[in-house]
Chain A
Amino acid sequence: MAYNFKEVMNRPDRLASGHRMCAGCGAPIAVRAVLKAIKPEDHAVICSATCCLEVSTCMYPYTSWKDSFIHSAFENAGATICGVEAAHRALSAKGKVPENYKFIAFGGDGGTYDIGFQSLSGAMERNQDMVYVCYDNEAYMNTGIQRSSGTPKYADTTTSATGKNSAGKTQNRKDLTEVIAAHHVPYAAQTTFIGNLKDLYEKSEKAIYTPGAAFLNVLAPCPRGWRYEGEDIMEVCKMAVETCFWPLYEVENDVWKVNYEPKNKRPIEDFLKLQGRFKHLFKKGNEDLIAEIQRDVDHRWELLLKKAK
């Protein structure tokens, strides 16, 4: 069915307002949009890794989740939701619980790219019927903006500090969506908040209603860590896509598809200059660092286009 923005947005939210996430944070936008893609008549069990999202949405004795929710630890959202899914298989076979349940795990990039990587890889390889959503804000924001393997090169974080002898993180960013695609799961996709959230919605719906394991990597900016004004989040996401820093693509049954190719690819500065974490790159003498980032972005974009041909 064609995407109807008004109809989708009018569906009841499955994450209540009144949670404690920051204004201008990408995580609750990602969560609410993903959960909109669950048919209202279907049940869900939601899992979260230990992260900003978890500590801000389930402070005892309250919960912001309108579905059953489980948090167990930082590094195991993949395995935890697989346990729930296995329980559902066992109990629905016995007729003890309804069949129409969906299983969705959320984790930040730290809990997904790094400490939760093994658990996620296991879940993907077992191809259990669940969706893992990474809300990727490119650092350990919950503990105070430490670098992760999802942090881009030359970003300033509290453990890749900039200073006289350092221009921020010196290593490349791991390409997790491609790593998950290499598990040959039925569906893996990368998206962010663009326009009326059509891309995010459609990928969520596909992920949720494709039998087997699915993975969504949602670029979800953090105003504290990236240092932008909260109201600019949509512009930041737009520039991530228009510069091809964060291409929108999906891998469905091993077929790669780029969902959006900018007509005029914007220079990477248009993305970097919106954020305080890259401020040092615009000092005189650091032009070569920006040029290096541009080369990396171009190189990865070309590789992706080849895969999608």
Chain B
Amino acid sequence: MAISERLSGNEAVSFAIKQINPDVVAAFPITPSTEIPQFISQYIANGEMTTVYVPVESEHSSMSACVGAQAAGARSMTATSSCGLAYMFEMLYIAASNRLPITMACVNRALSGPININNDHSDSMGARDAGWIQIYAENAQEAYDNFIQCVRIGEHKDVHLPVMACQDGFITSHAVERMELIETDKVKAFVGEYNPEKYLLNPDEILAVGTYDTPQYYMEHKKAQTEAMKNARQVIKDIAKEFETISGRKYDMIEEYRMEDAEYAMVIIGSSAGTAKEAIDELRTAGVKAGLIKVRVFRPFPLEEIAAALKGVKAVAIMDKTDSFSAAGGPLGAEVKAAIYGKVDGLVAANYIYGLGGRDVRVEHIKLVFDEIAELVKSGKQPETYKYLAIRE
């Protein structure tokens, strides 16, 4: 029987880590992810986990220690947010290029500056080209479910890549929700033992990790890395199907909400999807054919799924909880537009920057966006390249 519980996102992910009982956790406190290493430390103190916890002096060292531990043959995990993730930046690339399936609980928070502890996606979106798989949760249930799946996805023999399990800081990480946990024996059986093919601590075969790569080899290694990321698409789908058998909950690259006959659509990531669903229900009641595409997996990017879901739609609002400062919009805006290019004809695509630094996103904001894109279709006008939502001018 599944366990019905009331937990915050941080509690849920910490509980998943306890159930998995990884070999090594190396972590450093940073709001709002700090609770995760706190819970782990307490679980270890209580004798509920046997994980070796490395209380490092910085996030750069937490990722460095995870690189060392995972390369040595240990299932390794960490948690971080915001500037902590930025401080790991160099090591994120090294973890990915060394093909080390480290699992990270990323609790999304705005990057400094100005310093701000609240949620947006500037941290993980800043690391979007680091070679990590990125999976985003809408709520605590998904944060828990995703985290368990992430371990399997990264460690899969066709993938061997690190994975970020992202959830929105405070909104998801600290708000307590009713949710269902899976029995520990089922989680352990689902995740299984970590038995890497190559590892430093193999006495029968020495291994050199992180060797110097000349121009004769570097590009082939990058190609292998990108092939692994492509392979992850099928692996993510397969593992979601398997996860459904133990949880009853369905997951995929994207989630479509009331998209069957939608004329106006929104593409969004994370907790605001919940707000958008509420707004869409209200719009539907008022006779507006509105729908939502929630991007669950951002890396690898679900370009085919998004293009297919947007077929027949008149206008789409692409919502970025970060600004890439390209002066051309946010990363999701750019990538969704690239996904529909040549695939979906005549679609009006508007890019919004919203919810930065914890700015509240309410149902009326989402409805305003739908009003605006409907107006564009009606008037035949092109949208601005991108715009900030609900901003004081």
- The residues of A with any CB-CB pair to B shorter than 8 Å are 43, 45, 47, 54-55, 58-63, 65-73, 75-76, 78-91, 93, 96-98, 101, 118-119, 121-122, 125-126, 128
Contact = CB atoms under 8 A, between A and B. Distances in A.
A121 B56 CA distance: 10
Interface in B27-84: 50-52, 54-58, 60-62, 64-74, 76
B94 interface: yes
Given A76-B91, A91-B74, A83 B65 contact: yes
Interface in B74-122: 74, 76, 90-91, 94, 98
Given A66-B206, A86-B24, A86-B69, 10 more contacts: A54-B212, A68-B202, A68-B209, A80-B68, A84-B200, A87-B74, A90-B74, A97-B73, A118-B61, A121-B57
Contacts of B217: 60-61
Contacts of A63: 206, 208, 211
B248 interface: no
Nearest to B94: A72
Residue among B51, B65, B91 with the highest chain A CB neighbour number at 10 A: B65
B380 interface: no
Contacts of A121: 57
Contact of A91 (B66, B73, B206, B209): B73
B66 A83 contact: yes
A47 B210 CA distance: 10
B221 to A, nearest CB: 8
Contacts, number: 171
B293 interface: no
6 contacts: A45-B201, A60-B213, A81-B68, A83-B65, A83-B66, A86-B69
B207 interface: yes
Interface residues of B, number: 44
B58 A87 contact: no
Nearest to A80: B68
Contact of A122 (B61, B66, B71): B61
Contacts of A69: 200, 206-209
B150 interface: no
A87 B64 contact: no
A96 B74 CA distance: 10
For the complex of A and B, 10 pairs with smallest distance between CB atoms: A83-B68, A122-B57, A87-B74, A87-B72, A83-B65, A79-B61, A79-B64, A90-B23, A76-B64, A83-B69
Nearest to B58: A118
A73 B91 contact: yes
B287 interface: no
B26 interface: yes
A125 B201 contact: no
Contacts of A54: 212
Contact of A68 (B60, B67, B201, B214): B201
B105 to A, nearest CB: 18
Contacts of A72: 64, 67-68, 91, 94, 98, 209-210
Contact of B208 (A65, A75, A128): A65
A62 B90 CA distance: 24
B67 A86 contact: no
B209 A87 contact: no
Residue among A63, A66, A75, A88 with the highest chain B CB neighbour number at 10 A: A88
Nearest to B209: A70
Given A72-B210, A87-B73, A97 B203 contact: yes
B211 A59 contact: yes
Contact of B60 (A62, A70, A75): A75
Contacts of B56: 79, 82, 122, 126
Contacts of A78: 61
Residue among A55, A80, A93 with the highest chain B CB neighbour number at 10 A: A80
A63 B353 CA distance: 49
Given A70-B210, A118-B57, A91 B67 contact: no
B220 to A, nearest CB: 10
Contact of B209 (A71, A73, A81, A97): A71
Given A45-B72, A76-B60, A83 B26 contact: yes
